[in-house]
Amino acid sequence: MVVVVPLDCFSFHHCLRNHTTQLSLSSRSTTSTATTSTLHFHYPIIQAKLPFFTNSDSFQVGRPIGTYGFINITSYSAFPSGPGTDYSLKDLGGLKTQDVGEGDVKIRLYEGRVSRGPLTGTPVTFKVVYPGRRAGGVVADALAANELNTHLFLQSSSKGIAQHLALLVGGFETTTGEQWLAFRDDGKYSVADYAKIVSERLSKSREVSSWNPFEQGVTIKRRQSFIIKLLQGVMKGVAYLHDHDRLHQSLGPFSVVLNTISEKEGSYLIPRLRDLAFSVNVRYKELDDSGQLSEGLWRRASGAGAFTQMEKRAFGIADDIYEAGLLFAYLAFVPFCEAGVMDSLSLQRLLENTFQLDLEATREYCLADERLVNAVEFLDLGDGAGWELLQTMLNADFRKRPTAEAVLNHRFMTGAVL
């Protein structure tokens, strides 16, 4: 499993396949003079339906807005269970059965806009993948190329452009080997940003003893509605990917961008999936062509007993559903808790290690902690519909997990429980 994380302190250029295009570039910044570079595309480029810019002269680069990277988390190995089993709190609370490692690929984000062509003036967010190939960044190069071609494939679909996927409008490589991808700016905030802001707001509000109970109830109801709509958008994006034989493979709180984080504007909310660098093609004829980025997925598939092409494809789809289930759990807990009470890795440890994906036992544990009461009440909607859906998405047997379409049709996800 790959998790996208922020960095506070984390190819385009493949072996020549069909053709090579070289274009003259100048990288521009609002604060620096232009420098000339050359763009090298050593990969067959898919023709997208929308205008796609491969010349950096078509863009203006603005201020940096953030950095992030990846950590790798291997699938959990459950603790042994049975009579006489004794665990210490250290065992249950730690990552004893998980391997966590920081990835070598780093991402920088910049504001910008299109300065030429039919999309002139369109705000964009630049995603810069480094280190470049010329600096030894072979993995970064492969990730950038995979993300580029995945977006171009999806954006050339006869079924139209997906509303719940980030829209790529251009890409280029500098002479230093850095890969620049330009996405239409459909929002600055991720799900992680939203959860952090509302949990901090909740902490501050509870410091005020005169907070109106009626106002509190309205806020909670509004938050419940906002999160269900957010989850609907996420699953529509996942369904679109799976319908086009693509897996996401790095779905998490930082991989979903929101056009608004105001719960009062929930009717206008459009979540969009981003970070398709780890996307895997699961068309049957592609499954035997296992590349560098999918080795871990198929290794885990074999470990789960998926050996045939049909089983491997089913495992991959179910693996995305599992990641979506963890994101569901994150949204069910973090925004309803005060700041610092719960985070994504702690929640994953709780679900996988401590309770071994037994959601009924998890609920009993959470009921005893008053800090988690609002999260429990959210999942209790519709006579426990949230727990029911979460349990199926996190089923230890990949064969029993629902499809994205089945998740969307579940009574909790349709909003019928509100």
Indicate which CATH number applies to the domain containing 348. 1.10.510.10
What pLDDT, on the 0 to 100 scale, is given for residue 391?
Answer: 98
* Same domain, yes or no: 222 and 329: yes
Residues 98-139: pLDDT tens digits?
A: 444 445 678 889 999 999 888 899 999 999 987 766 665 788
Residue 93 in domain: no
CATH number at residue 143: 3.30.200.20
* Same domain, yes or no: 151 and 229: no
Counted domains in the chain: 2
* Same domain, yes or no: 274 and 352: yes
User: Which pLDDT band, with edges at 50, 70 and 90, does 191 fall under?
Assistant: very high
* Same domain, yes or no: 128 and 207: no
pLDDT at position 65 over 60: yes
305: left (phi over 0), alpha (psi -120 to 50) or beta: left
* Same domain, yes or no: 395 and 263: yes
* Same domain, yes or no: 231 and 261: yes
In order of 140, 304, 310, 341, 417, the CA distances from 221 in angstroms are 42, 40, 42, 21, 11
| DSSP 8-state class, residue 353 | I
In order of 38, 144, 201, 226, 326, the CA distances from 197 in angstroms are 41, 30, 6, 14, 20
- Which amino acid is located at 41 in the chain? F
What pLDDT, on the 0 to 100 scale, is given for residue 29?
Answer: 34
Q: What is the mean pLDDT of residues 292-321?
A: 93
Which residues have a Cβ under 8 Å from the Cβ of 5 and sit 6 or more positions away?
68, 69, 70, 71, 254
| Structure-block tokens of residue 114 | 């299109």
184, 210, 237 - which closes a domain: 184
Residue 50 in domain: no
**Does 271 sit behind a cis peptide bond, omega within 30 degrees of 0 on the bond before it?**
no
Q: How far apart are CA 8 and CA 53, in angstroms?
A: 31
What pLDDT, on the 0 to 100 scale, is given for residue 308?
Answer: 93
* Same domain, yes or no: 290 and 376: yes
- Angle (CA) 407 408 410, round 5°: 65
Task: Out of 124-133, 256-265, 377-386, pick the least confident.
Answer: 124-133
- Structural domain range at position 253: 189-409
Whole-model pTM: value is: 0.82
184, 207, 228 - which closes a domain: 184
Q: How far apart are CA 247 and CA 314, in angstroms?
A: 11
* Same domain, yes or no: 178 and 271: no
User: Which pLDDT band, with edges at 50, 70 and 90, does 75 fall under?
Assistant: very low
Residue 356 in domain: yes
The string of DSSP codes covering 106-148 is EEEEEEEEE-SSTTTT-EEEEEEEES-GGGT-HHHHHHHHHHH
